[in-house]
Structure 1
Amino acid sequence: MDHKKDFPIFNKHKELIYLDSSATTQRPAKVINKLNKFHEEENANIHRGIYDLSAKATGQYEGARKTIAEFIKASEDEIIFTKGTTESLNLLAHTLPKLFKKKKEIVLTEMEHHSNIVPWQQTKMKLHFIKVKDNELDYEVAEKLITKKTAIVSITHVSNSLGTINKIEKIIKLAKKHGAIVIIDSAQSIAHQKINVKKLNCDFLVFSGHKTYGPFGTGILYGKKYILDKLQPFQTGGDMIKEVGLYKTIFLETPQKFEAGTQNISSVIGLAEAINYINEIGIENIQKHEKELTIYAIKELKKIPQIKLYTSKNQGPIISFTLGKIHPHDIASILNEHNLAIRAGHHCCMPLMKKLGIAGTARISLSIYNTKQDIDKLIKALKKAQEIFK
């Protein structure tokens, strides 16, 4: 599977080996072309415009909602457009706790991205964290922490720093046993494996468009409609109202009541085109390709002396490592000289890095445009980095 030709950036930068897809994926030509076409030929604001351009833009915007709903097996009225995973989680942290009068506990994990920790810290609820053991969640601890006092469980599907694929089905089942609401952060899984929200039975699922071959500034919040209907809007203003008086306002129904103001229309349409691209290739084919690459990368990385991999038994296409006493930033800098783009640092997971006893890691993340040849060049460059820091 070689889809590098689908991505214009590799035509411009022919030597580029891009291994930072968990930070953001590159965009295929069809997504870029869709964006350009909208801006050049179809630009108009949506909803209430009594003219052809506006009607067409509205149709494409709402059509994008349908495309994304079908992709995760949800209903259209359960899909809310946001700026990204971070805004989706902030929306939930701002609104969900108000539903609970007696339950005042939230369960998270030690491997969460800051965006799934900091918003919950702003609530008045007590936080508990499922511990990380051997780069995986300790499910025995989870069974002790998730109780009848638990209001919300919010957990990442795939760790953005470790690449661990968590057993979310197990966590969801445990949470449901105690009547807790479950939120799944699928930012690092949605473009890599099939997700069916109905089968999962999660209450909410969030992800970002720019990690899914789509544009920046787009995100999705899926939520069960009966819960969304109970929540108050996160933001208020135009386009989410039914009637406004001087002292009272009536909001529109879900999902429109959560989409205040002028939306990122073109990028939402571009995100739908990215989902179409994934569907054309087949999510199963993407998963197979990335799994083969991940196995190969781990095998080759293990051959390097003094390397430490932070991997697990159930590994996604993200691999973090340290290399002797070489600082991760120095590793990334040297790799950059060899046209290799990786990520280095704490990856917005400071609590996890502290738990691991390190300041940060070097991280590679794989996608459909990567090949075994990319891995071979990575290994060669890492060995050169070792020579420099002898």
Structure 2
Amino acid sequence: MSEAVILSPDADKKADFPGLLTPEGAPWHYLDTAATAQKPQAVIDAISRALGKDYATVHRGVYARSAQMTQGYEAARDRVARFMGAKSADEIVFVRGATEAINLVAATWGMTRLSAGDRIVLSVLEHHSNIVPWQMVAERTGAQIDVCPLTDDGRIDLGALEALIGPRTRLVSLAHVSNVLGSVLDARKAADLAHSVGAKIMLDGCQAAPRMILDMAALDCDFYAFSGHKIYGPTGIGVLWAREELLESMPPWQGGGAMIDKVSFQGTTYAPPPQRFEAGTPMITEAIALHAAIDYVDALGPDRLFAHEAELARKLREELRRTNAVTLFGPEESAGIVSFALEGVHPHDLGTILDEENVAIRAGHHCAQPLMEHLGVPATARASFGLYSDENDIAALMRGIERTRRIFG
């Protein structure tokens, strides 16, 4: 096969990721990065130090190590703000993941701003995490959900979105990049459409953050969420960005320590954002490891990562198209994600056989059952690339597919 995009001419990025080897030391062809990314040694080292010799609580201790840990925790917030092009670190709320971020907005902004007859616009390709929270809000407030269709090649149809929104539209919530199809939303155009009718827009950035330059001012969105584990960081931490004036207007998400100004049995006053939304002892070590992950990604350049993974996706589609028994889904140009079906083989069976070949893919509905219904399949096989992926991974996948065809032939 021809040479793929080179991220770094002086280093093999696979060598930075100890998880890309089997217990026997053989290469593990990991093609499930859209679900969760492998971790570079720099992130592993950062969380190990934070859990070990550097460990202490934050915000409360008067002793030196606590002060140092507090400085490290808030430095992570500052780093995320710079990475996202936020106006201020006060616009960054640490949460457990994008799921919690969307639920936070739904339960605070949504429950206080939406009422009977208001409209929430989602799209066919949304992850369940960007569907179910809004259904829960709609049930409680009387708001209604409108669903934006897709173009023939699997992109959110912005022409249809323009026709769908209206004066009762209060919120548009869309995936910046589809976790199944890899299709990329023209996020600024979507934001302009939402704002044209006075609606707010939220973007699910889980698949965009690891491979695209983020600039909240340029996107002109109102809420943005992503998960740390998809951007080569740890699980258990994610980010909600929101405009400062919106956060200031939103009630607390949970009650407890750290999110208060003063507590008495006569009443409680709350801390300003972002502390208002971070009740309890926060994800200290995870934030510090997320800082390391963002440093790692930023040093490589998200635009280069996008080009690298998109080129691998293009090459994989080219290889799969040579196999007559394969159906491809989604656009030709995708952000490093390829979903497909192998004729006569359930995706779970394919995934099991590939695992025997040290190839890891995702098989199932990918938490996007409405999209599966739209595609007319119960499930797909999904190969998703990361910064460590290369053409050897494609070759291993294709060998596994050929073996599967022989078994089921």
Point out 4+ residue stretches in structure 1 off by more than 4 angstroms. Answer: 100-103
C-alpha separation between the residues in 2 aligned to 1:284 and 1:138?
24
2:377 matched to which residue of 1? Answer: 358
1:4 has 2:14 as partner = yes
User: Which region of structure 1 is more displaced relative to structure 2, 95-104 or 151-160?
Assistant: 95-104
1:179 has 2:198 as partner = yes
Measured after TM superposition, the shift of residue 101 of structure 1 is 5.5
Which amino acid in the other structure matches residue 52 of structure 2? E
1:89 has 2:99 as partner = no
Q: TM-score, normalised by structure 1?
A: 0.98
Q: Which of 212, 215, 220 matches 2:239?
A: 220
C-alpha separation between the residues in 1 aligned to 2:134 and 2:118?
12
Which amino acid in the other structure matches residue 246 of structure 1? F
Measured after TM superposition, the shift of residue 90 of structure 1 is 0.3
C-alpha separation between the residues in 2 aligned to 1:145 and 1:53?
54
2:3 matched to which residue of 1? Answer: none
C-alpha separation between the residues in 1 aligned to 2:145 and 2:64?
51
1:42 matched to which residue of 2? Answer: 54
1:278 has 2:316 as partner = no
1:342 has 2:361 as partner = yes
2:72 matched to which residue of 1? Answer: 60
Which amino acid in the other structure matches residue 272 of structure 2? E
C-alpha separation between the residues in 2 aligned to 1:103 and 1:89?
21
1:116 has 2:134 as partner = no
1:386 matched to which residue of 2? Answer: 405
Residue pair 1:103, 1:150 contacting (<8 A) in 2 also: no
User: Which region of structure 1 is more displaced relative to structure 2, 291-300 or 61-70?
Assistant: 291-300
Aligned residues: 390
Measured after TM superposition, the shift of residue 53 of structure 1 is 0.9
Gaps of at least 5 residues in structure 2 are 1-6
Residue pair 1:308, 1:321 contacting (<8 A) in 2 also: yes
Secondary structure of residue in 2 paired with 1:249: strand
1:376 matched to which residue of 2? Answer: 395
Secondary structure of residue in 2 paired with 1:244: strand
Measured after TM superposition, the shift of residue 100 of structure 1 is 4.2
Residue pair 1:152, 1:181 contacting (<8 A) in 2 also: yes
C-alpha separation between the residues in 1 aligned to 2:18 and 2:27?
13
Residue pair 2:259, 2:278 contacting (<8 A) in 1 also: yes
1:106 matched to which residue of 2? Answer: 120
Which amino acid in the other structure matches residue 198 of structure 1? A
1:268 has 2:287 as partner = yes
Which amino acid in the other structure matches residue 211 of structure 1? K
C-alpha separation between the residues in 2 aligned to 1:330 and 1:10?
23
The 3 A distance-change label for structure 1 pair 204 and 281 is same
C-alpha separation between the residues in 2 aligned to 1:271 and 1:20?
20
C-alpha separation between the residues in 2 aligned to 1:208 and 1:359?
26
C-alpha separation between the residues in 1 aligned to 2:113 and 2:20?
48
1:30-78 CA deviation, whole Å, 9 max, x = no partner?
A: 1000111111111111002100110011000000000000001001000
Which amino acid in the other structure matches residue 174 of structure 2? I
2:34 matched to which residue of 1? Answer: 22
Aligned pairs for 1:163-178 within 5 A: 163-178=182-197
1:191 matched to which residue of 2? Answer: 210
Residue pair 2:181, 2:337 contacting (<8 A) in 1 also: yes
1:128 has 2:146 as partner = yes
Q: What is the CA RMSD across the aligned residues, in angstroms?
A: 1.2
Residue pair 2:222, 2:243 contacting (<8 A) in 1 also: yes
C-alpha separation between the residues in 2 aligned to 1:153 and 1:41?
45
User: Which region of structure 1 is more displaced relative to structure 2, 289-298 or 201-210?
Assistant: 289-298
C-alpha separation between the residues in 2 aligned to 1:195 and 1:314?
20
Which amino acid in the other structure matches residue 127 of structure 1? I
Which amino acid in the other structure matches residue 3 of structure 1? K
Which amino acid in the other structure matches residue 133 of structure 1? T
Residue pair 2:329, 2:339 contacting (<8 A) in 1 also: yes
Q: TM-score, normalised by structure 2?
A: 0.93
C-alpha separation between the residues in 1 aligned to 2:35 and 2:337?
11
1:77 has 2:90 as partner = yes
Aligned pairs for 1:283-294 within 5 A: 283-294=302-313
1:152-188 CA deviation, whole Å, 9 max, x = no partner?
A: 0000011111111122222111001111010000001
Measured after TM superposition, the shift of residue 295 of structure 1 is 1.4
The 3 A distance-change label for structure 1 pair 77 and 103 is farther
C-alpha separation between the residues in 2 aligned to 1:350 and 1:132?
15
